[in-house]
């Protein structure tokens, strides 16, 4: 839990409560002499002279009668000084002694218990914080929002997430304007408990209140993905994109890939082509190949071919030209297939060069160029995986030549 001055402010207000104003079965007032000394230390504390206040209070500890209200008040004030100095371990030590005496008026005893729980939390003694607050909760069954937050943080630190969640939820429900950190804690608890469905409306609420905070948009996308709601995830991310919240190349490419995963390839292609034209996405082999794949999935073959042409020119290997040649062959665009396959073989680096020669040979054949077809099949024959098909084609060409 983040250490703020919240603890200090509470301690100043609660520990220096006017004991003389209390009236119950216990001794309600401290001695006049001690009252004057406490007022003196209060002024030092107000002037932030914590060292001097500490010295005076330590001297008083040895002077007051043990076991009475006077001692409890001095111990409580000393704890207050240590809390203001952010020496929480010492503060808990002294305040615990004051509480154990059980001589403070009831209201102040309850306030001291609450303060002690806060101090244990600040000192990162979370189990003690919860244990200390149990008697306080027994007398205060409807805690205020801050106490719920205190308990939620303590349980969270102990990884008792199911115990923490009701407290932070009650804190939020009981406050007109909950702090943002409370929502963040509730959201974190939903994540820890894998209650992603409950996280969705909370994130939508946070987004409505903070429409330009990219963090919430990203978290909602992630939750939708976690729950296999990819179309919703893509829709939210696309909306963030249209609002200008996605500015880096990585964020834009993440959107493109999410569209593809959600089965929305046309939207993926549209966004990527627009960003390539705007130079917000780099003109690389990988990105143009991604665009080609998007258009292919969208059955926009002409656009896919154009993108693959660009990718092939940028690539230092011939594999993309081979893919392009395959597409042209399937479209029965023989001349284009021949040109692409020759470029693929010239660039080299092919994983299946034999297959490239086969496509080249068949394209030449369909173009009535049997001699070039024969030469291509002869080269394909040199690759074991293509040898059988190449021999069959060569045999066919020989028979065709004999009968012509």
pLDDT of residue 5: 40
Tokens of 106: 């009831």
pLDDT of residue 28: 61
pTM strictly above 0.85: no
Question: Which residue, among 315, 342, 316, has the nearest Cα to 328 in the 3D structure?
Answer: 342
CATH architecture entry for 1-141: Alpha Horseshoe (1.25)
- Which parts of the chain sit beneath pLDDT 70? 1-28, 402-404
Q: What residues does each domain of the chain span? A: 1-141, 333-404
Query: Does domain 333-404 correspond to CATH entry 1.10.405?
Result: no
* Distance (Å, whole) CA 97 – CA 108: 14
pLDDT of residue 19: 45
pLDDT of residue 23: 36
What HEC string does 243-296 produce? CCCCCCHHHHHHHHHHHHHCCCHHHHHHHHHHHHHCCCCCCCHHHHHHHHHHHH
Q: What is the pLDDT of residues 171-230, one digit of tens each?
A: 999 999 999 999 999 999 999 999 999 999 999 999 999 999 999 999 999 999 999 999
What lies within 8 Å, CB to CB, of 357 at 6+ separation is 341, 345, 376, 377, 379, 380, 383, 386, 390
pLDDT of residue 141: 78
């Amino acid at each position: 839990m983040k250490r703020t001055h919240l603890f200090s402010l509470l301690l100043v207000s609660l520990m220096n409560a006017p004991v003389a104003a209390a009236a119950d079965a216990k001794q309600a007032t401290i001695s006049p002499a001690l009252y004057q000394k406490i007022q003196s230390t209060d002024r030092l504390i107000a002037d932030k002279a914590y060292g001097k206040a500490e010295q005076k209070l330590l001297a008083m500890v040895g002077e007051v009668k043990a076991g009475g209200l006077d001692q409890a008040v001095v111990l409580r004030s000393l704890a207050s000084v240590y809390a203001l100095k952010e020496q929480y371990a010492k503060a808990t030590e002294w305040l615990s002694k004051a509480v154990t005496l059980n001589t403070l008026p009831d209201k102040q005893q309850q306030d001291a218990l609450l303060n002690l729980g806060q101090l244990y939390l600040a000192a990162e003694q979370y189990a003690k914080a919860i244990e200390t607050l149990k008697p306080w909760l027994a007398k205060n069954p409807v805690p205020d929002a801050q106490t719920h937050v205190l308990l939620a943080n303590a349980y969270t630190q102990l990884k008792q997430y199911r115990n923490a969640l009701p407290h932070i939820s009650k804190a939020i429900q009981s406050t007109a304007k909950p702090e943002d950190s409370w929502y963040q804690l509730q959201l974190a608890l939903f994540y820890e408990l894998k209650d992603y469905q409950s996280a969705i409306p909370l994130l939508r609420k946070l987004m409505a209140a903070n429409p330009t905070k990219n963090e919430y948009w990203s978290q909602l996308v992630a939750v939708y993905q976690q729950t296999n709601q990819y179309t919703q995830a893509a829709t939210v991310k696309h909306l963030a994109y249209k609002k200008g919240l996605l500015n880096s190349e990585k964020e834009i490419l993440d959107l493109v890939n999410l569209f593809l995963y959600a089965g929305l390839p046309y939207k993926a292609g549209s966004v990527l082509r627009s960003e390539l034209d705007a130079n917000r996405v780099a003109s690389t082999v990988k990105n143009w190949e991604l665009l080609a794949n998007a258009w292919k999935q969208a059955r926009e073959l002409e656009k896919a071919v154009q993108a693959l042409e660009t990718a092939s020119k940028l690539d230092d290997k011939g594999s993309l030209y081979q893919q392009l040649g395959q597409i042209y062959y399937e479209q029965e665009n023989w001349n284009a297939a021949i040109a692409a396959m020759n470029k693929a073989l010239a660039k080299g680096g092919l994983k299946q060069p034999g297959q490239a020669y086969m496509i080249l040979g068949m394209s030449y054949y369909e173009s009535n160029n049997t001699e070039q077809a024969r030469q291509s099949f002869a080269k394909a024959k040199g690759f074991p995986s293509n040898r059988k098909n190449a021999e069959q084609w060569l045999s066919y060409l020989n028979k065709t030549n004999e009968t012509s």
